[in-house]
Amino acid sequence: MLAVKTRAGEPAAGSAPASDLLLALLVGALLLIGSGVSLHDDFRIQVSQVDDQSWLRPEVLVLVLAGSLPLAFRRIAPLTVFAVIGAASLGYQALGYSPELLPLGVIVALYTVAVRRRPLVSGVAAAVYVVGLSAGALLHWTSLDDDQFFVDLVAIVGTVSIGYGVALTRTRASLAEQRAADLARSQDERMRAAMEQEQARIAREVHDIVAHDVTVIVAQAAAARRVFDDQPQTAASALASVEELGRDAQDGVRRLVGLLRTDDEAEERAPQPTLERLPLLAEQVRRAGHAVTLKVTGSPYRLPATVELNAYRIVQEALTNSLKHADPTSTTVLLEYLPDEVRIEVRDRSGARTKMYEGHPSARYGLLSMQQRAALLGGRLEAGPYDDGFRVAARLPVGARSV
């Protein structure tokens, strides 16, 4: 069953707009004029004589006012207004006066009921009025003839049909507006979620790419400064490594800037790192004075690009944290290839730095970044103190793989 709601912009309950008041006065005037016009057999219209002033009688004026003035409140209480006007119309005929050519007041009130109430309600209201007309004619309480009854019946049925059509059109328009608003809201939410996801991804890339290179640069620059006077050759080698890392960092920043661009220009970007670059990564950390041992077990095979990139970043972040937060020590990187997953373990040894590592804000962000990367692949990452050091262990499913 169709439920019809009040449309926006219509008067609120408790107020009668000036348009409805003017409509009520117009209907009253037409009813008063129509009290001297009647419809006879064969649809012949007869106008009363001038000296017939029955329309000036008090009861006629009262019934005409009762059949028109309530229309000023038709939007506030449509059913009540229809009941009053319908009763006034039937009462006018019961007093022996010829019915008006068209029951204007009844039509307007019934139209309002059909527009603002459920179809069942308007149908019952119309049926009650038609039953009243039929009973008055059959019991000879009114002077309603066959032709006038047919005109009234057609008017009532047409009014209910038109009112229901208008209500249905309004409801469909309201539903369409609501669907459009919901769609726009859903698109905004998806866009906001995509933006947040992209911001988080860029933040991870900034932290994992730039932070690692800058950390190694700082460590090697400090080492070069300490041995500059006594071992100039070693200092020069460290500075050369700093230059190389600086170029890598520059490429990383350029790639991140390319992610933020909105135009369609083609940018030259460095290729995404893979696990094949782990020996180079370990060598960079060694040059910074941090011993790194890389062990690979199982039969290596090419992983999906997303797994390759995130696995490399996890190892890179773990080595960066070891270099930043640990005393000079050794770190072991274990990469194990299994048929359906790749296991990564980065474990360092330094008993004096565990508390400092756990309490450092950047360390917490690095751990969060690694956990997000593992979760992105449907894997799992564990990190925490282990023996006299710290351990990061990740299990990354690989799905379909190629040898």
Spell out the per-residue pLDDT of the chain, length 403, in tens.
344 444 444 444 445 677 777 877 777 777 766 655 444 444 444 444 334 445 557 777 787 778 788 888 888 888 898 888 888 888 877 777 766 677 888 888 889 899 998 888 888 988 998 888 888 778 877 777 777 788 888 888 888 889 899 989 988 988 988 888 888 888 888 888 887 887 777 777 666 666 777 777 777 777 777 777 777 777 777 777 777 777 777 676 766 666 665 554 444 445 678 888 899 888 888 877 788 899 999 888 888 888 888 899 899 888 888 877 655 578 899 999 998 899 999 998 765 444 444 444 555 667 888 888 888 888 999 988 887 788 899 999 987 444 4
CATH superfamily of 274-403: Histidine kinase-like ATPase, C-terminal domain (3.30.565.10)
- List, as own/partner pairs, every contact residues 202-208 make where C-beta atoms lie below 8 angstroms and the sequence separation is at least 24, other chains included: 202/256, 202/259, 202/260, 204/313, 204/369, 204/372, 204/373, 205/252, 205/255, 205/256, 205/259, 206/256, 207/317, 207/365, 207/366, 207/369, 208/313, 208/316, 208/317, 208/320, 208/369
The count of other CB atoms within 10 Å of the CB of residue 150 is 12
Task: Please tell me whether the overall predicted TM-score, pTM, comes out greater than 0.95 for this model.
Answer: no
- Output the 3-class SS for 20-63: HHHHHHHHHHHHHHHCCEEEEHHHEEEECCCCCCHHHCHHHHHH
Domain ranges of the chain: 18-183, 274-403
